[in-house]
Every structure is written in structure tokens, then in C-alpha cells.
Chains A and B, each alone.
Chain A
Amino acid sequence: MEISRRLFVKTTAVALASAAAAGTMSTMMGCSSGEVAPADGGTTTKTLAVCRFCGCGCGVIVESKDGKLISVTGDPDNGSNRGLNCVKGYYLVGALTGEDRLTKPLVREDKNLKGTMEGFREATWEEALDLVASKLRETWKNDKSRLAFWGSGQQPIVEGYCQAKFWKAGLLSNNIDPNARLCMASAVVGFMNVFQTDEPAGCYADIDETDVFVTWGANMAEAHPMLYSRLTARKLDNPDVLHYDLTTLVTRTSATATKVLRFNPGADLAIANAIANYIVSNKLYDEAFVNDHLQFKQGTENIGNATADDYDVTEPGNTVDATTSITLEEYAARLAPYTFEYASEISGVPAADIEELAKVFADPNKKVLSLWTMGVNQHNRGTWMNHCIYNIHLLTGKYAMPGNGAFSLTGQPTACGTAREVGTFCHRLPADLVVANEAHRRYSEAVWNLPEGYLDAIQKPGFHTVKMFRELSKGNIDFLWSAHNNWAVSMPNLTRFLGRGDKQGIFDAFICVSEVYPTLSTAYADVVLPAAMWVEREGAFGNGERRTAIFEKAIDPPGEAKWDLWMLMEIAKRVLEGETIDGVDAFDHLFGFIYDKEAGDFLGDQRETCRTAWEEYRTFSNPWLNERANAINESAGLKMDAKQLAPYDVYLEKHGLLWPVREVEGEWLETSWRFCDGEQADGFDQVGVATHGSQDLAKGISFYKSANQRPSVVFRPWEPPAETPSEEYPFWFCTGRLLEHWHTGSMTRRVAELDRALPEALLDMNPADCEKLGVVDGDMVRVKSRFGEVEIKVSTAGRTQPPEGLVFAPFFAEETLVNLAVQDTYCPLSKEPDFKKTTVSIEKI
């Protein structure tokens, strides 16, 4: 065969491409991790990991050589992404190698320079830890309502578990909350209200099975790119598959939609109620499903808006969680005003389009998958909107089955695994348990071997995130420690919280920030602790589809950067010095099983430490591992095994698993569809239904965690946004994420390619609005709200296409601090702020 140069070049290219694909085949054959010796003599190691960034939780293969990362590629054996990746994931290596990594502890010498990275000096770990621990202990002993920890949906599971244990059992404080409050709290409260168990019934595989996608306030193409790739693949593979995009502005996600239903901000509740009304009034609901599975409720209404500091203690604030039972007929009567025409009047969406979508939901032969993100959750009625979506799916029996589901997509890699599952919220304990429930406290005491009644001291929830920062701004917090987040960029109403208004508390509090790079949050710190990042240590994430997956340590952290868990142990041992629990040294009681406080080191290596801590944590979902816990589980009917987790090493072997994970004939099997009866080996909830549920109910579903095994359809009316455009503030201001930058950009902006692709935050505007204001692309404008103002450059060619009267800006750029102008009004039920509906004025500078 004659081979020309061109043919040779092509042959090589194809061979390399094929070999690259085959390279991943090795992992498929069980060689997921290990060392190999390439021809050049170096040693290359492949390790398993999960992407550091969004809630998709893509499994990745990390390749390192000579102590440095070489590449990150999609893991074909991880069921969440099946080898797919996005630009952020591919360029992850660069996120670890920014030139300004923090490598030494920093102690602030000049408090007058707070707000800048000036006024710090390098310190030893001993000095920094002593200082942080002394300030925490001093505050704790003086008034523990004045201390706080702000964590994250990016804090790995074991670290979050130990942090929660230290705070709740060690300090007996509930002043701990994660940044997941900003993105997922409405989903959590929705799940708990409706199903009495957190997290979705279905999984990402629903995307590959459904007939109709309905995206509600979700720009998946930018914020959940891998899942959007699966969505578009499903649609391209099956031309009959439909996609309805309900949104307040046209985004990249709208590009593939069959129909875009662009609605006025806040009107989604009216649209959802109109759909439910059509289904109920025309008796198009699934009667058997309704009869077998559902109960109906209504709740407190006219609840106002949580803008003022005292909202939570006002009459509506105190009663927002209250519900009463109603009949289906009463529910129908409440829905009756929501005609298509009325919903159209409120939303601006043509009545015919709402009717078309209603008929799609009502079609018993169509599988429908609702997907939503921050447009629903970051909403002054976020919890209510979660309810409204579940209402439609439950009425039509389109839930918890392959292709039929309602799915709140998480924003962060372990918002589920850590923030929600290990209990770093101010009202929670691990595994869906809450501090206010006596049986839950008894159960936690059993797992943690605490005296009965020990946790009664924390039965009242602590400060939720917005409350925490409001109290900080008022000078009511003396000690704040934050990790795995960048609150000085991501919090709303930063004009207040950063002390740029009349509230100066941030300058008086002692603030410790664990970080990997200098950020605006470290600029407000008194001590900065340099942290190991991502695969510089071992950890685990739990993603949006209930998949727990481990990332292995691949390289050492730079300089003196340390594992967060080590920092926690060292601070905890200092703070708890001289304290006892049940006559035993308090630190040893809580953490002696993993850490030798005299030696200042863990008892085992990182793998062993994670495994040991995991085994304690998984006792929460495997009650039979602890006799005392098991007895409480039985007597209180807690059904703790509904979230059953497997032994640590199984997750490595299987490249992640969806809980509940069941041991069947010696093999640990995941559950793709909770509550849906069927073979466990096929991903159905055979063990859960057999153990706790009822078989032979409609569609083979058994909601065994719900009260009386009946989820609640809760009527929630449309109530207007906290503020609406006025003469003074005529525009809606919506903020969000874009593809290339993860949250506040503290990692992705260190990657040259990502920075080049999206170098600055622009204000996307409608051309007609620009013309009215006399501004053109590139002009600087001042965006001003009741809360603050920010200067930003205008674009009519940005990623989004807002309608007249609405503008959009991403929040990744600290030099364009959009959150200076964003309201901190939150959903009264979930306490999650509404980042999507601040009203603003815009003027050319």
C-alpha cells in the first residue's frame, strides 16, 4: 500500500485520536488508577476524580507526572457524564497552577487596611492556628451566638461532615450554614415539604429517556453544560422529542427549544397554576396515581417579602411554613382563577402557548422531564415554585419513573453530598435529620456516642446565611470562619455586607478565610489559611443526581498549603482544650478515631482517614451498624436506611454510585429511580419499596418516605415579586453564571484560555433599551438599585438576549461587583435570596 505524506499525517491523526479514545478504555477495563511507565522514562499516574466545578458532578480521569498534573479528561465509567466534559473540566489543571496560589498562612497586622490584600504578613501555621483558635474559643466562651462558620457546596463530604460534627456536637452551635443556601435551599424545602425526603427521585438518565424537556428558569447550556449536551443529544437522536424553555430572557438554552415561553419575572407561578388548573378542571390527571399516592394542602398566603431584618419574627414570617389539608375539589377551586388568559395577562406569554404546554403535560403517552435551576430557586417564592412544578408532575403521574421526573439541578459539585447530606445547614443534622426534632437529636447522639439529651442545646436553628451576614454587618458577629466559598463576591447586597454603606460590622469582626487564591473575601480576613485544592488531597463529592464519587489525591499541594480537614482538627483541638464530653476529652471523643492531637497528625493516611470518617458518617444511613442508633431508628420509625450509603472503597471501584446503595447478594447496587419498584440491578428501588413501602400501587410507585406514604400537592398562589419596575428603577436586573467561569471566577479566571474566552462581565441589554438610554456597546453605565450600585460595560451582543425592560449580568468578576446592587430579599420559607429580580435604574457614565 502506497502511503503519501498526506495519508501518513492523516493516518497518524486518526490513530492518535482513536488511541486517545482507547486510553479511556483502560479505565473501562478496571484499570482506573495506577502507575504506568511511558517510553520517556517518567512515571505517569492516572487517578479517579470528580470535576471541581458545577453540580453536574462529571467523573474525570486525572493524569499526573512527576508531581504535576498533565490532563483531565471525562471518565467514561462515571454514570453521570459517561466520558463527556466541558471546557472548564478540560482546563481544570490550569485552575490549580495560578501564579498567586496561597502557600503560607497570612496574619493581618493592620486592620485599617481591611478590604485590601495589604496589611498582611506571613506567619507560621502554629501562630495562625493559635490566633484563630483563641479568637473562636474566646467568642464561644463569651457568647456563642456571636460566632459563625460559612461553608459550601464545594466542601468535600468528609470535611463537611467533620465540620458539622465539630460545630454541632463540639461547640453546640447551629451558627453554621453553607453557600448552598444561595442556590439550593428552595429545592431542599420543596423536597422536604412535598416528599419528606431531600433530593430527586430520578437521575440524569431521565434525560436519555424522556419525550419532552421543560426547562424552568434554567440556562443549562451555560450552567450545566454536560447535561445540556445530553439533552441536545436526546433531541437530535429523536426528532419528535420536544423542549419548552420557560425563561425571562433568551439564552443559549433557548437555542434548541421547540418553543420559548418568555415570561415576566415572577409569573412562573401563574403559568404553573394555569397548567395545573387545566389538568384538574378537565379531569386529565392520572386518577389512579392521585388516589393511590397524593394528598392535597394549602398554606399560609399573602406572606409579604423577607427584605427587612426582622421579617422572620413577624406574623407572616412566623407562619410561612403552616399548611392545612384540603380536598382535591378544594384544590381545584383554588386553581380555578388561573385560566390561560389570566396567566397570560400576568406572564406575557400567549395563552395558546401555555395551553399547548398544558396539553403536553396532560398527554398520558408523553414522558415529561422538568429541569430547573436558579430561576426557580433564587426566587422570592422559590419554595412555592418548586411546589407548583411538583404539583403538575404528581397530578399527571409523571414522577419517579424513567423519563418522567421533576429535577432541580444543583449548582455546586457537592451541594447535595455535603451541604444537604451531612447537615451543614443551620437547622440540620446529617442525613436529612433536623435539630428541632427530638428523635433526630437522639439518633445523632447515638451515632456520635453522646449522652442522651446532649444535643438538646441545639434544638433551635442558628443563623441562616442572610441572617448571618446581616448580623455581621450590624456588629453582632465577633468571629467568622469561611471555607470553600467567596462570600465577598457571591453574597447579595454587598454594599451593606462589605461595609460600603452605614453598617460597618465587617471591619470589627475577626474573620478567618481558608482559601487557595487571594480573593475579595481574603481581603477582608484577619487570618488567611492556605488550603490544598481539589486533587491535592483526597475527598468526595455528591452531585445533583445523588451520585457520591471520590476524587483521589493526585499531587501534593504547593508550599505550606494544607488539607482543610487538618486545619479543622488543629483548630478544634485548641478550642476544645480542657473540655470534656461524658468525662472524656472532648476532642478525642469527637475526632480521636481519626486524629492524634499530640502528634498533630492523622492516625492513618488520607485514604484511611477518609474511609474511617466515612464509616462513621454512613452509620447514619446504615442504622444496624450502631445498636443504640438502630433501636431509635426502629422505635421512631425514621427509615434511616432510605439514604443508605455503601462502604468507602465501593465508590472507587464503581466510579461513584447513586444512593440509596443496596447490598444484594454481596454486591452493592445503586438506585437510579427512588420509590419506583423494579429490579434493583436495573436501578429501581426494589429494596426500599420492599422494606418500607407498598407494592402494587399505581405505576409501581411507593413514596415510602412521605407522611402516610402520600406526597403533598400544595396550592401556592401567584404573588408578585418583592419589587417591580417603577419610574425610579425601571429595569429588572437578573444575574447568573456563564459557561467559562465557575461562580466568582477565583479559579477559572486563573486559566488563560477561560479568561480569554470570557474576559469581562458585561451588562446584556436589549437594543431598544440602549437606544432609549442613548448607549451603545462598550459604553459604561451605572446600574443602581435601592441596595447599591455598580458600574459595568453595556453589550447587545452578549450571551443572553434580554427583552426590553430586563438586563442581565454574570457575577464572576470581582472588579465588576454586580452584587453591590442585588437585593438580599429571600424566599420566606427557604431563606434563599432572589438574585433574579432586583429593580434598577441605568444611566450612562
Chain B
Amino acid sequence: MVKKTAICAFTAALALSAALAVGCAPAASEEAVDEGAYVSDGLPGLMPEDHEGRFETMGAEMCFTCHGANESAYPILDTAQPLPADHFAGGQIESYELDNARAECITCHSQG
């Protein structure tokens, strides 16, 4: 299942990437931008209230347990926000490993 996901995703991404590389196009997300607002769907979300203390006590590995990927699911927990590809080792979701430079989750995802 996850292989199919990855194949479809990477095919789509490749097409988008090619277009971007040629024309220096912005990321595909900008249609979501509200006129006059500063929201962008590229912003890292804050951790929800019920996550209070989770990172401090359990670390990035535990975050990955829900938000990451394995051979059978991405994200692993169906209701979790999936980590973007650049959070995976080598930028590859199929690595099923967290990029160690992203292991300080709270650097970007503060406790909201």
C-alpha cells in the first residue's frame, strides 16, 4: 500500500518539481493563501494541548511513531499529520527514518 502511495506521490512530485525547476515556480500551496492574511499552509503547526510534555519526555522517536511512515502506513497513525518528505532521511519517505536534523521537533512545533 505504502509503495503505491510513494510511487504515485513521487510521480506527481517529479512532474511538479520539473515545472518548478524550469520556471522557478512557487510551491504548489499558494492557492490557499487568503488575501490580506499571513497564513500559509507551509507553516509548522503547533503541538495540540494534549501533546503537552510528550516531546520532552519521549523525544522525536515517539513523534515519528505517529507522524512518520513505515512499510505499511504513512502517516503511521491514521489521524496524525504526516511528516513532509523533507523530514525523512535523504528526503525520502521510503527511508522510513526521521532526518536527524529534524529531530528537535519543538524547534518548529512549539507547544500551543
Chain A, residue nearest B110 (CB): A757
- Which of B31, B82, B108 has most A Cβ within 10 Å? B108
Q: Is the CB of B8 within 8 A of A11?
A: yes
Query: CB within 8 Å of B: which of A69-94?
Result: 69-71, 73, 83-87, 90-91, 93-94
A232-B109 contact in complex given A1-B4, A65-B33, A90-B44, C-beta closer than 8 Å: no
B21 in complex: contacting residue of A15, A22, A252, CB < 8 Å: A22
Is B28 within 8 A of A19, CB to CB? yes
Q: Please tell me if B62 contacts chain A, counting CB pairs below 8 Å.
A: no
The answer to whether A93 touches B40 (Cβ under 8 A) is: yes
Q: Which of B9, B25, B31, B104 contacts A18, CB < 8 Å? A: B9
Which residues of chain B are within 8 angstroms of A12 by Cβ–Cβ distance? 9, 12
Chain A 10-42: CB-based contact to B (< 8 A → 1; otherwise 0):
111111111111110111010100101011100
| Other-chain residue from A7, A23, A68, A84 in contact with B1 (beta carbon distance below 8 A) | A7
Decide: A756 and B112 in contact? CB cutoff 8 A: yes
| Contact between chains at A26 and B46 (CB < 8 Å) | no
- Chain B nearest CB from A81 CB (Å) reads 10
Evaluate whether A14 and B36 lie within 8 angstroms (CB atoms) in the complex, with A26-B20, A230-B101 already known.
Answer: no
User: Is B63 engaged at the interface, CB distance under 8 Å to the other chain?
Assistant: no
Give bound CA distance, A337 to B88, whole Å.
Answer: 51
Minimum CB distance partner of B33 in chain A:
A70
Q: Mark B44-58, 1 if CB is under 8 A from A, else 0.
A: 101000000000100
Contacts of A18 in B (CB 8 A): 9-10, 12-13, 16-17, 84-85
Q: Report if A46 contacts B (CB, 8 A).
A: yes
* In the complex, A63 has a CB within 8 A of chain B: yes
Contact A63 B107 (CB under 8 A): no
Residues 595 to 640 of chain A near chain B (Cβ within 8 Å): none
Query: B104 is contacted by which of A26, A27, A228 (Cβ under 8 Å)?
Result: A228
Query: Are B110 and A38 closer than 8 Å at their CB atoms?
Result: no
- A19/B26 in contact, CB under 8 A: no
- CA of A40 to CA of B33, assembled, Å: 11
Chain A residues with CB under 8 Å of B17's CB are 18-19, 22, 25
A240 contacts the other chain (CB 8 A): no
B77 contacts chain A at the CB level, 8 A cutoff? no
Contact B110 A753, beta carbon cutoff 8 Å? yes
Please give, as numbers and ranges, the residues of chain B lying within 8 Å of A15 by CB-CB distance: 8-10, 12-13, 16
Q: Given A14-B5, A93-B38, A237-B100, is A229 in contact with B31 using a C-beta cutoff of 8 Å?
A: no
Q: What chain A residues lie within 8 Å of B4 (beta carbons)?
A: 1, 3, 7
Chain B contacts of A753 at CB under 8 A?
43, 46, 110, 112
Residues on A with C-beta less than 8 A from B70 are: none
Chain B, 1-37, CB within 8 A of any chain A CB: 1, 4-6, 8-10, 12-13, 16-17, 20-21, 23-31, 33, 35-36
> Considering the complex, which residues of chain B in the window 96-110 have a beta carbon less than 8 Å from any beta carbon of chain A?
99-104, 106-110
Q: How far is the CA of A320 from the CA of B20 in the complex (A)?
A: 60
B13 proximity list for chain A (CB < 8 A): 14-15, 17-19, 22
**B36 near A68: Cβ-Cβ < 8 Å:** yes
Q: List B contacts of A34 (CB < 8 A).
A: 24
**Assembly CA distance A73 to B84 (angstroms):** 14
User: Are B107 and A69 interface neighbours, CB within 8 A?
Assistant: no
Q: Are A7 and B8 also in contact (CB < 8 A) when A46-B26, A73-B42, A236-B100 are?
A: yes
Q: Which residues of B contact A11 (CB under 8 A)?
A: 5, 8-9, 12
Do A23 and B26 contact each other (CB < 8 Å), given the known contacts A7-B8, A233-B101, A233-B103? Answer: yes
Establish whether residues A757 and B16, one from each chain, have CB atoms under 8 Å apart when the complex forms.
no
CB atoms of B74 and A10 under 8 A apart: yes
Across-interface contacts of B56 in A (CB, < 8 A): 252, 255
- Cβ-defined partner of B106 (8 Å) among A40, A739, A756: A739
Q: Are B27 and A19 in contact (CB under 8 A)?
A: yes
Instruction: Chain A residues near B40: list those with CB within 8 A.
Output: 63, 70-71, 93
Q: How large is the interface on B (under 10, 10 to 19, 20 to 34, 35 or more residues)?
A: 35 or more
A789 within 8 A of B: no
Contact yes or no, B38 A65, CB < 8 A: no
Q: Does A382 contact B (CB under 8 A)?
A: no
| A 189-213 to B, binary, CB cutoff 8 A, 1 in contact else 0 | 0000000000000000000000000
Which residue of B is nearest A221, CB measured?
B104
**A26 close to B107 (CB less than 8 A):** no
The answer to the question of A809 belonging to the interface, with a C-beta cut-off of 8 Å to chain B, is: no
Q: Is the CB of A10 within 8 A of B9?
A: yes
Answer whether residue A44 sits at the interface, using C-beta atoms and an 8 A cutoff.
yes
| Chain B 65-112 interface residues, beta-carbon cutoff 8 Å to A | 74, 82-86, 91, 93, 99-104, 106-112
Q: Are B24 and A38 in contact (CB under 8 A)?
A: no
Q: Point out the residues of chain B lying under 8 angstroms from A63, CB to CB.
A: 26-27, 30, 40
Docked CA distance A71–B82 (Å): 20
Chain B residues with CB under 8 Å of A230's CB are 101
Contacts of B103 in A (CB 8 A): 229, 232-233, 236
Residue in B20, B29, B46 whose CB lies within 8 Å of A22: B20
Closest to A33 in B: B24
Q: Are A87 and B9 in contact (CB under 8 A)?
A: no
A29 touches which of B21, B42, B99, B110 (Cβ 8 Å) = B21
Contact of B102 with A229 in the complex, beta carbons under 8 Å: yes
With A22-B16, A25-B20, A753-B112 already in contact, the answer to whether A16 and B74 are too (CB < 8 A) is no
A16 CA to B9 CA in the complex, in Å?
8
Pair A36/B100 contact, Cβ less than 8 Å: no
Are A14's CB and B6's CB within 8 A? Answer: yes
Instruction: Kindly identify, within residues 397 to 417 of chain A, every residue whose CB is under 8 Å from any CB belonging to chain B.
Output: none
**Assuming the A-B contacts A91-B43, A232-B103, A255-B56, are A20 and B24 also in contact, with contact meaning beta carbons closer than 8 angstroms in the complex?**
no
Q: Does B110 contact A758, Cβ atoms closer than 8 Å?
A: yes
User: Contact between B107 and A86 (Cβ–Cβ < 8 Å)?
Assistant: yes
Q: Which residues of B are found within 8 Å of A447, using beta-carbon distances?
A: none
Kindly state the separation between the CA atoms of A696 and B35 in the bound complex, as whole angstroms. 62
Most buried by B among A22, A228, A753: A22
Instruction: Report the minimum CB–CB distance from A409 to chain B (whole Å).
Output: 16
- CB-CB nearest in chain A for B27: A23
Write out the residue numbers on chain B whose beta carbons fall within 8 Å of the beta carbon of A26: 20-21, 23-25
Q: Do B43 and A90 touch (CB < 8 A)?
A: yes
Cβ A17 vs Cβ B8 within 8 A: no
In the docked arrangement, what's the CA distance between A34 and B26, Å?
10
Given A10-B5, A18-B9, A44-B46 contact (CB < 8 Å): no
In the complex, which of the residues B5, B12, B25, B99 contacts A7, with contact meaning CB atoms closer than 8 Å? B5
For B25, the chain A residues whose CB sits under 8 A away are 23, 26, 36, 38
**In the complex, are the beta carbons of B10 and A14 less than 8 A apart?**
yes
Q: Is there a chain B Cβ closer than 8 Å to A375's Cβ? A: no
Collect the chain A residues with CB atoms within 8 Å of residue B8's CB. 1, 3, 7, 11, 14-15
Q: In the assembly, what is the distance between CA of A69 and CA of B111, in Å?
A: 25
Question: Chain A 295-336 against B: per-residue CB contact (8 Å), 1 yes, 0 no?
Answer: 000000000000000000000000000000000000000000
| Binary flags per residue of A749-762, CB closer than 8 Å to B gives 1, else 0 | 00001101110000
Shortest distance between the CB of B89 and any CB in chain A (Å)? 10
The listed residue (B9, B28, B31, B111) touching A757 by CB distance below 8 A is: B111
Point out the residues of chain A lying under 8 angstroms from B108, CB to CB.
85-87, 90
Q: Does A225 contact B (CB under 8 A)?
A: yes
Is A740 positioned at the interface, with any CB of B under 8 Å from its CB? yes
Q: With a CB–CB cut-off of 8 A, which chain B residues contact A225?
A: 104, 107
**Given A38-B25, A229-B101, A229-B102, is A21 in contact with B84 using a C-beta cutoff of 8 Å?**
yes
**Residues on the A chain within 8 Å of B74, using CB:** 10, 14
Chain B positions near chain A (C-beta within 8 angstroms):
1, 4-6, 8-10, 12-13, 16-17, 20-21, 23-31, 33, 35-36, 38, 40, 42-44, 46, 56, 74, 82-86, 91, 93, 99-104, 106-112
Complex A-B: 15 CB contacts under 8 Å: A10-B74, A11-B8, A12-B12, A14-B10, A15-B16, A18-B10, A22-B21, A87-B109, A90-B42, A226-B107, A233-B100, A753-B46, A756-B112, A757-B111, A757-B112
Please list the 5 inter-chain residue pairs (A to B) with the smallest Cβ-Cβ separation, ordered nearest first. A14-B9, A18-B13, A31-B24, A22-B17, A17-B84
**Beyond the given A1-B8, A86-B107, could you list 10 further A-B residue pairs with CB under 8 A, ordered by the A residue number?**
A12-B9, A15-B8, A18-B12, A22-B16, A22-B20, A25-B17, A68-B35, A225-B104, A229-B101, A757-B110
